[in-house]
Amino acid sequence: MKNLRLNLSFFRGLNLVKYLVLAWLTVVFLMLFILSLKSRLYMDQGFMHYVAYLINEHSFIPYRDIFELNMPVSYLFHMAVGKFLGYSDTAFTTVNVIWLTATLTVTWLIMKPFGKTIAFSSCLLFSIIYLQFGSRVMLQRDLIAILPIAISILITTGRTPFHRINLINFLNGVLFAIATLIKPHLVIGLPAIIIYNCIYVKDSNNSLKIFIKKFIVGSLFAVLGFIITLAIPFLWLWKMGAIPAFWDIFSSYIPLYSEISGGLKIVEGDRRMGILLHNIYHNLKQFDIGILIISSLGGVYLVLKYSSSVTKRKLASLLLSLTLIYIVYVIIAGKFWDYHWMPFKYFACLCTALLLFNFSSSLNFPKIKGIATIKILPFFFFVLLSFILTVKPAYNAFKQLRYDATPSWLYRPDYYIMVEEIETYLHDNLSPNDKVQTLDWIHGGSIHAMLRAKAVTATRYITDFQFYHHVSNPYIQNLRKDFLTQLEQEMPKFIIKVQAEAKPKISGKDTNYKFPELDEFITEYYDQDYSGTGFDIYRRDDN
């Protein structure tokens, strides 16, 4: 009787910890969510919206009329937003809420077998990690692609005996093709889903030969769905005559671009591997990423060790495998910015929520002996993790609400100042048929200002960073010549030149920020008309 009372007291204490954690996460989520409703287009999102605007409103053809590196579905997503909601900050915020709601709904359904507490906490934890970065991470491509991958997991793990396994594999191929058409290397999670289906399909004969047969057949159905879906946007490009330009960019320029590391440094050969390993080590030891890895392992361990449900153990194993796989995803990309880690963080949040696993629902929950020193630690760890991940954005939220200050998560606090100055100038000086050329990377704000002023680019080169790395490469030399040829043909009314200190710089071998032919062209045909915060605007000298 005494032992029973101790067990009951212990589980009541655990439940109290759970409810305190959930209350804390809920408060921080609500605060960050309300704050996110004030979000504005920022850098990448403004750029992608501008590309969508050119395609939708001015019949530009991607890749042919716009030199760009993103995959087709990225454009289709922003084109759909522009068509149905427009290109404003309000449209951006609305889509962000819709996307987050859809993702959390699927997440809830995935995690529901573990209980409502775990399902709720996994949704809250991912939302906080997503929202804490503000506008610079919202609706990034890596995040948009989480939804089709999550749906794939849902239909896989929620399969009933009435669902044909080959149909499930086909649909998995479709969903991962959608993710691939946003970011190509997101496909690395598909084999884990196929293997899961092979292992956990009920069969009296579970020999290696049968497993291999199931894997081959399942892979064929997944590949079929993958190829059919992959072909659809490329048929769209083919119909518009954009395939040659697409192939030119992806076969000739992307290999050069891939040599730019996450720190915007060009590294080649053996040294590239050394820099890559250094970046991997540096990022994995970061506090939030390191904690998520450890807490993911801890949460899954508790389920595998103490759950009596085969279904729960299977699902926990799949989530952990995807967590580890999407660490590899970041390494393959060779870029280590915040949003590149988001697929990993999504699955890590789901695994971390398993630290709230309900022992009392298990047939073999641990005995009271030694539990105070061993089994209670994961719960304190979860509370610590929640505090670390949420207290900083909570502070930023309070600060912004109180002072209406620029959020500290912005890379460039003067970004919106630049956008508004350029937009005002263009509204005051731009005539209906005038064209504008920007000399900027995404970070400068001029492209965002072009979107708000509804200005049309003079050439296919919206950004200019591609002209300054691998400058001795014949392909880059041809890009420079093509750019100058288009400038001379179009003679845009205005050229917006973002100053060097307002743009990130690529460093390393064969980088050169001198473009004498462009400087001569501007000097000969243009006069400086306006100097603003980090930029200059040149007006064509019509005399």
- HSE (CB half, 13 Å, CA atoms) of 155? 20
- Judge whether 198 lies within some domain: yes
Same domain, residue pair 363 and 420: no
Domain-ending residue, one of 375, 400, 425: 400
Spatial distance between the Cα atoms of 540 and 543, rounded to a whole number of angstroms? 9
Beta-carbon contacts of residue 119 (< 8 Å; ≥ 6 apart)? 107, 108, 110, 111, 112, 353
Spatial distance between the Cα atoms of 94 and 81, rounded to a whole number of angstroms? 10
Same domain, residue pair 197 and 100: yes
Same domain, residue pair 306 and 439: no
38: left (phi over 0), alpha (psi -120 to 50) or beta: alpha
Same domain, residue pair 354 and 431: no
Same domain, residue pair 249 and 114: yes
End-to-end C-alpha distance for the chain, whole angstroms: 100
Report the 10 Å Cβ neighbour count for 540: 16
What's the pLDDT score for residue 19? 77
Same domain, residue pair 196 and 264: yes
- Judge whether 270 lies within some domain: yes
229 is in which domain, residue-wise?
Answer: 2-400
Same domain, residue pair 135 and 64: yes
Buried b (16+ CB within 10 A) or exposed e, 417-448: ebbbbbbebbeebbeeeeebbbbbbbbbbbbb
Beta-carbon contacts of residue 247 (< 8 Å; ≥ 6 apart)? none
- Long-range contacts, 519-522 (Cβ 8 Å, 24+): 521/484, 521/487, 521/488, 522/495, 522/497
- Judge whether 409 lies within some domain: no
Same domain, residue pair 301 and 268: yes
What's the pLDDT score for residue 280? 60
Nearest to 233 by CA among 378, 55, 35: 55
Structure tokens at 93: 């915020």
Domain-ending residue, one of 340, 367, 400: 400
- Judge whether 286 lies within some domain: yes
Angle between helices 446-453 and 44-58 in degrees, nearest 10 = 40
- Judge whether 265 lies within some domain: yes
What's the pLDDT score for residue 377? 57
What's the pLDDT score for residue 282? 54
Same domain, residue pair 483 and 344: no
Buried b (16+ CB within 10 A) or exposed e, 183-220: beebbbbbbbbbbbbbebeeeeeeeeeebeebbeebbe
Same domain, residue pair 396 and 440: no
For the chain, how many structural domains are there in total? 2
What's the pLDDT score for residue 370? 47
Q: pTM of the full predicted structure?
A: 0.86
Distance of alpha carbon 124 from the chain centroid: 18
- Judge whether 458 lies within some domain: yes
What's the pLDDT score for residue 509? 79
- Judge whether 410 lies within some domain: no
Same domain, residue pair 440 and 315: no
Residue type, 367: K
Q: What is the CA radius of gyration of the chain?
A: 26
Domain-ending residue, one of 332, 365, 400: 400
Could you list the pLDDT tens digit for every one of the 543 residues in the chain? 544 454 555 556 566 767 777 888 888 888 888 888 888 888 888 889 999 999 999 999 999 999 988 888 888 899 999 999 998 888 889 999 999 999 999 999 999 999 888 899 899 989 988 888 777 788 888 889 999 999 999 998 877 655 688 889 999 999 999 999 998 888 999 999 998 888 765 554 567 777 788 888 888 999 999 999 999 999 989 998 899 999 999 999 988 887 776 655 665 555 555 555 555 655 555 556 777 888 888 888 888 887 778 888 899 999 999 999 998 887 776 666 777 888 999 999 999 888 877 655 544 444 444 444 445 556 656 655 655 555 555 445 555 444 444 444 445 557 888 889 999 999 999 988 899 999 988 766 889 999 999 999 999 999 888 898 888 999 999 999 999 999 999 999 999 998 877 677 777 778 888 899 999 999 999 999 999 888 899 999 887
- The full 3-state SS of 173-232, as one line of letters, equals HHHHHHHHCCCHHHHHHHHHHHHHHHHHCCCCCCCHHHHHHHHHHHHHHHHHHHHHHHHH
Spatial distance between the Cα atoms of 252 and 194, rounded to a whole number of angstroms? 33
> How deeply is 129 buried, as exposed, middle or buried, from its count of CB atoms within 10 A (0-12, 13-18, 19+)?
buried
What's the pLDDT score for residue 363? 43
- Judge whether 252 lies within some domain: yes
Same domain, residue pair 380 and 459: no
